[in-house]
Structure 1
């Protein structure tokens, strides 16, 4: 009878890699997602190219024929590497030489005009002109409740996103290799993308809030929300203003904020409308956040934009509280959810009339209060109106923008609907 002996190998089984050994892979992934070449490739796939004649070769930008460039200017692009000795991932800048004329004016070629205009339109959904028209439109034509909920979540995600930008201080993708189609916010930092945050917050807050108020097909609403937020996010890559990492982080941060705050939405609504402390807290807290916004070594539009958002929220919050105390909220009456309004020639005409009157009222309010507040602050601080940097001073920019957009929020929430009643538009 043959016997078999089973011998156990003296060699120990391979041990899984330590967590610290896997860190470089994660850091390499983050560096890859932040690589400007990834954004440039997306732009080229969509038909957007740097002007022909410029190529990028080993960190240098030169004409295609290799001739020397006169009057160069250095720009940096982000690079990084994993330091195995100290266990840290180190970011650094590499200098690129680009012609001065190319720094002053973007030179690019569009080969797909359909995508070009689609992404430019989508990018516009994150600008002030959209906020001052779309959010009030929901108030005027659908339900003030939904507008209030959207303004609250929009303010939370935008404030957190803007503060994160100026604390993390991660740069936007450089040009070249990226084509930059926007210049106003180029001095801001990149991560996270507040366009992606705002689009995701508005789309999915509306989707989650609307079923209790309006009858609609949830699947169609989900498709619209996902499409809108995706287009806005991709537009930030197409315009060259954000890296893939900026956009992904913006969407994920917003998703987390929605999940964390969703259980408390109803409780906050009740406090906002009924508590006598609501207007006091709204004005004082949001003004405090405006003044304590993180300071930078140079001027950036983030502080002013954030103060604008906080001012709108303060004005709307106080306005909705006033409406609740007066007992006239202009919200749908009867059994909820109500059917969507029937589209008729008369309803479309009234909606268009409300939109025109409403936008004109808000823009007029903005212009009047802005001028009055600036004139008063210039006089108070003895500043010349012709000084181009006067508006950038904290003691002028913050109170001017906060007062201006608080007035816009108050007018939108309190006065505009009453104006519609006088004009027979409701």
Structure 2
């Protein structure tokens, strides 16, 4: 397949028919019904953002957004398993996996953009955080599902936590979920529609895990070989039916990663129940831990050793699979046994996969640790982005420009700096000055990408970009798409690689690390 010339945008970059040509009617119709709501709320969100923004809140919400990511939970969830809370850890994995998968499923299904920037300014620790679609908010889904599950556990009859401690934990939970959800609005990353639907989805997932989790645990821990095989079959089917997005969106990558995590934690828990190391209390398959007999020093060392085991698995397995899978995929492709996905290059079109692939990894690379520590030490470090950041942003920018152009030609849009009425003889009469909301609406669909790291108290209060003439010419498309960050080449072997690597992480956590603890004298004394 030939590549387009460098001075021309890719084929199909027509803002008006892009989604209608790539989405079936049953997906395109609800998208078009919801899109006006996102456009309607954008100037109001920009107005609120300008009114409440301060340097302190910028740093606070940009930093706390990290606490709602699945990367944060993936880093710390293994600690629950190694500290004897295997059932709680498994429950949180199910919650997060369901939240990431189903929110990503809906994102790729409807392909709805984030609220436009400008007028919104996107505040984040990562300048490329807006590469996914906006609806619904995965941050909100994760935060609310964890919060609902935690509060239900704290208020359940089986809770062993004292009333005072329970109250403190519930207050922390409410503060946590409020910070995450409001932060998505404050940072300009999502609109009300995104976070409301994300919250509803999260609440349903948290409630489902609390109600059905014990029965599902019992199924996993008492299953025979045939019964446990149902889990990988269901997970593979879910991965296969994940919708194809209209743009190069990384939602599928996260869904595959957490599908692998779910596969690994469930099958790994089932396998560990037959291990001589497993405890039967409080549930079968519990990883042995007793703080009183181990102490703080050995507990800390356990966590360090366990994390090193996980990183070792990741650093060895990923490059190995990326090296040995392409020839296998080429053979399968010749036999017609592969089902290629859009935006993934098939094995017949490349010879090797680069070893230094940069991606939106759910679990960080070992080399990413210094930057993570830097972010924690310098919470004021953040990026403020104005303008399109992804293909979805660019298409929405162009589509909104065309909408404004058509309204202007038909007389249905207020393009002047004031409302204009007309006398019977046709003489125009100035009615009132433009409101702030009119100003923000006038900024929608304008400008080019512009990002800058901010580490001081200077906050740009409005877009510095000039208001060009509204049009959707080929030149405009070329200009918009030439300045957004192009997604890197993605290879078909990455799907299987990600599934295997992330399925192996919980397997190492549950079945690999405990024997290492015993070998190093970090286990519970017999």
Structure 1 residues 245 and 419, CA, compared in 2 at 3 Å: closer, same or farther?
Answer: same
Distance in 1 (CA, whole Å) between partners of 2:223 and 2:43 is 52
Q: Contact conserved, 2:264 with 2:507, CA < 8 A, in 1?
A: yes
Q: 1:296 aligns with which of 245, 248, 259?
A: 245
Q: 1:362 aligns with which of 310, 320, 333?
A: 310
Shift of 1:45: 4.2
* Contact map agreement 1:132 1:359 (CA 8 A) in 2: no
Q: After the TM superposition, which of the residue ranges 160-169 and 322-331 deviates more from structure 2? A: 322-331
C-alpha deviations, 1:184-203, integer Å up to 9, x for none? Answer: 34232111111111112123
Counterpart in the other structure of 1:392: 490
- 1:374 equivalent to 2:286? Answer no
1:310 matched to 2:277? The reply is no
Counterpart secondary structure, 2:136: coil
State whether structure 2 residue 522 is matched by structure 1 residue 425. Answer: yes
Structure 2 CA distance for partners of 1:176 and 1:342, relative to 1, 3 Å: same
Q: Given the alignment, which residue of 399, 405, 408 partners 2:502?
A: 405
What is the Cα deviation at residue 214 of structure 1? 4.5
Contact 2:69 2:142 survives alignment (8 Å): no
SS of the aligned residue for 2:133 comes to coil
Under a length normalisation based on structure 1, what TM-score does the superposition of the two structures give? Answer: 0.69
CA distance in 2 between counterparts of 1:412 and 1:342 reads 19
Q: Does the 8 Å contact 1:148/1:316 carry over to 2?
A: yes
Q: 1:348 to 1:35 in 2, by over 3 A?
A: farther
Pairing of 1:213-362 with structure 2 (within 5 A): 214-216=160-162, 217-260=165-208, 262-276=210-224, 277-326=226-275, 328-330=277-279, 347-362=295-310
* Aligned twin of 2:75: 133
* 1:137-191 deviation digits (Å, cap 9, x = unpaired): 2222251110011111222222221111122222101211111234434232111
Partner of 2:44: 38
Match of 1:198 among 131, 142, 164: 142
Unaligned runs of 5+ in 1: 1-26, 48-110, 335-339
Contact 1:236 1:242 in 2 (8 A): yes
- Deviation, structure 1 residue 317: 0.6
Change in CA separation of 1:205 and 1:259 when aligned onto 2, cut-off 3 Å: closer
| Aligned alpha-carbon RMSD (Å) | 3.1
Change (3 A) 1:220 1:343: farther
Distance in 1 separating the partners of 2:260 and 2:509: 13
Q: Is the 8 A contact 1:34 1:243 kept in 2?
A: no
Structure with more relative contact order (C-alpha pairs < 8 Å, separation 6 or more): 2
Gap change, CA 1:398 and 1:34, over 3 Å in 2 = farther
Contact 2:221 2:270 in 1 (8 A): yes
Structure 1 residues 289 and 243, CA gap change in structure 2 (3 angstroms)? same
Q: Contact conserved, 1:278 with 1:318, CA < 8 A, in 2? A: no
SS in 1 for 2:274: helix
Query: Is contact 2:100-2:255 (8 Å) kept?
Result: yes
Q: Residue 146 of structure 1 corresponds to which residue in structure 2? A: 88
Q: Distance in 2 between matches of 1:364 and 1:288?
A: 29
Q: Residue 197 and residue 330 in structure 1: after superposition, are their counterparts in 2 closer, same or farther (change >3 A)? A: farther
* 1:242-285 C-alpha deviation (Å, 9 max, x unpaired): 11221121112221333345332221110011112443122222
Cα separation, 2, equivalents of 1:225 and 1:198? 13
1:178 lines up with 2:120 in the alignment? yes
Displacement of 1:351: 3.4
Flag the structure with higher strand content. Answer: 1
Contact 2:68–2:142 under 8 Å retained in 1: yes
Structure 2, unpaired ranges of 5+: 1-32, 284-288, 329-346, 358-486
Tell me which residue corresponds to 2:461: none
The answer to whether the 8 A contact 1:282-1:314 is kept is yes
Question: CA, structure 1 residues 396+269, in 2 after alignment: closer, same or farther (shift >3 Å)?
Answer: same
1:42–1:237 Cα contact (<8 Å) kept: no
Q: How far apart are residue 342 of structure 1 and its match?
A: 7.7
Number of equivalenced pairs:
329
Partner deviation per Cα, 1:208-241 (whole Å, 9 max, x = no partner): 3466365343322222222212212122223322
Does structure 1 conserve the Cα–Cα contact (< 8 Å) formed by 2:323 and 2:353?
no
Distance 2:50 2:84 in 1: 40
Change (3 A) 1:330 1:120: farther
Q: Residue 306 and residue 369 in structure 1: after superposition, are their counterparts in 2 closer, same or farther (change >3 A)? A: same
